[in-house]
Chains A and B, each alone.
Chain A
Amino acid sequence: MDGLDARVPVISPRRPFRDWVSTFGALSWSGFRRYATYRQATIAGSFTNTVFGFLRCYVLLAVAAGAAGGRPGGYGAEQLASFVWVGQGLLTVVSLWGWTELADRIRSGDVAADLLRPVPPIVGYLAPDLGRAGHAMIFRFLPPLAVGALFFDLYAPSRWFTVPLFALSIVLAVVASLGLRFLVNATAYWLHDARGPIALWTLSAGVLAGLYFPLRFLPDWLAVLLWVATPFPGLLQTPLDVLVERDPAPVQLGLVALQAVWATALITAAVFVQRRAERRLVAQGG
């Protein structure tokens, strides 16, 4: 077969930046396409998120009505409604639950196929995950938000940079979430069965990321501790606080910067763990 030999241009591992962008882009697009094939799951998921949106919204608005001064955690009623409805979409975008793909592939030995590609595994998971998040932004984020906007008064941001900052904050949340999920799943390299760590992650992510209640309802010292010492608030609470302008501009910016620090740290840790794992990797199955 012509061209199937070593004379085909062998690409240097130091590929130019442009090549990397196109590889990354193609992988991201594959992630988008992949989720686009599951239409019924997308519709069912959106519907569920919307239903729970109503429940959460009525509960929080009742809390606000009963709170002294009507501003629990420093949020007004419109801000709380936005917090809920934007959060209902965002929780799928940042994939707060139910990602066990890497653990499953380690367990079955299919992870060997990931290693046979000329891209570092972490890139091979991050790029498609951003594509998945893009798909979720359109098909899981917008529908509940549209319904919420029909039935409730939502908060309209007043600062010009809030929306772009919110977008950046979402990207950082997705990256941090992938880093965390990768680390949790990677325990399967050592434990063979990552169900324990994954269950722990599912439990803590909901509470500590601010899904069940806004973390600002907690005493200040505890909220600060959560933000600085754990990556969880950066997954959901930070983007939401940014959008509803819960804090003055400098704090708003500072929260996103903190998110960036956590995202970098988590991806670095994931790369490190993957390297360690590969050194002792046992690819399962004949």
Chain B
Amino acid sequence: MSVIAMRGLRKDFTVRVGRGRLRREKRTVTAVDGIDLGIERGEMVGYIGPNGAGKSTTLKMLTGVLTPSAGEVSVCGLSPVPQRTRLALTIGVVFGQRSQLWWDLPLRDSFALLRHVYRVPAGAHAARLRRCRALLELDEFLDTPVRQLSLGQRMRGELTAALLHGPSVLFLDEPTIGLDVVSKQAVRSFLAELGGSGDVTMVLTTHDLADIERLCRRLVVIDHGRVVHDGTIEALHARYGSRRRLVVDLDAPLAPDFAVPGAELVALDAGGHRASFDLLSSVAGAVVAELTSLAAVRDLALVEPDIEDVVARLYRS
């Protein structure tokens, strides 16, 4: 049985829009529009989509803080809203934009308090905390009240707080939002190690696709509340015909009618001295060989397809 299962999951919000000075009109916004998804134990799923696609709304329904308008949802065999407090013991949640820590207490005290709230045996709690302190480098600010932490420090604290009770499912809504490069890398390698064990199921939303490339085998893309892609990153590239690109700097200008089977000349810059090719198959060697016969090759670069480009195309389509 899937650890997480959604069938026909839907959420409609009723919003009142002011029209004129007195009249107000009711309008229904469909944030999640019939999602069917099964996620197995140990999977790390990247859940992405443009702003307003319905990612956060989905995670809220999965964690039991929002009642679905229609459809079924189960997490760890539990029904999130009615069995919320029970579910809370087995899941860990980070909502990047809001804090689950106690604002006025030092991080250390928040962690100690969580042990009692979740009834975690002291030994297990201490072991996990030690691990997080080392991997996320918490020691520097462990005694600082949460309200005085920087965003990156707080996020590392949030992650720790979400893990101290040993959850088997993690929901992370933009866990790397606003972090600097170093903090992002720390968080990513931490999550990668966590997911490596194969015991923890993880659903991660992000706008930084490097997170996904680093962490997630499976990518679910949603738009307007519907799943538009579900599969690996490679599958996404294949589907959208992403290609590797070869850029070559030549001593002599290249004629625009130059052609090699399997490669497409897409640009000629610098007065014909720089040529860019999209490679339809593994023909980089053949292209270079052909070019060398025409002019001396000064420099060349092979660019892997960019996930940002594919996703941008997907969002726009």
Contacts and interface: CB of A to CB of B under 8 A. Distances in A.
Contacts of A13: 85-86, 89
Interface string B147-163: 00000000000000001
A108 to B, nearest CB: 8
Contacts of A3: 124, 127-128, 166
B104 A283 contact: no
Contact of A112 (B60, B67, B163, B199): B60
Contacts of A39: none
B50 to A, nearest CB: 12
Interface in A33-82: 33-34, 37-38
A13 B102 CA distance: 23
B168 A116 contact: no
Interface string B176-206: 0000000000000000011001011000000
B156 to A, nearest CB: 15
Nearest to A5: B199
Interface stretch (B110-118, B239-247, B254-262, B299-307): B110-118
B51 to A, nearest CB: 8
A6 B199 contact: yes
B110 to A, nearest CB: 8
Contact of A1 (B60, B90, B116, B131): B131
A282 B128 contact: no
A116 B167 CA distance: 13
Interface in B189-225: 193-194, 197, 199-200
A26 B100 contact: no
Interface residues of A, number: 43
B65 interface: yes
A26 B145 contact: no
A127 B102 CA distance: 14
A19 B193 CA distance: 32
Contacts, number: 126
Nearest to B90: A10
Nearest to A111: B65
Interface in A110-154: 110, 112-113, 115-120
B264 interface: no
Contacts of A27: 113, 116-117
Nearest to B55: A286
A197 interface: no
B93 interface: yes
A281 B65 contact: yes
Contacts of B200: 1, 4-5
A1 B199 CA distance: 9
Given A110-B98, A278-B81, A10 B116 contact: no
Interface in A239-286: 278-283, 285-286
A280 B14 CA distance: 11
The 8 closest A-B pairs by CB, nearest first: A26-B116, A5-B199, A8-B166, A6-B168, A118-B88, A113-B100, A112-B65, A34-B104
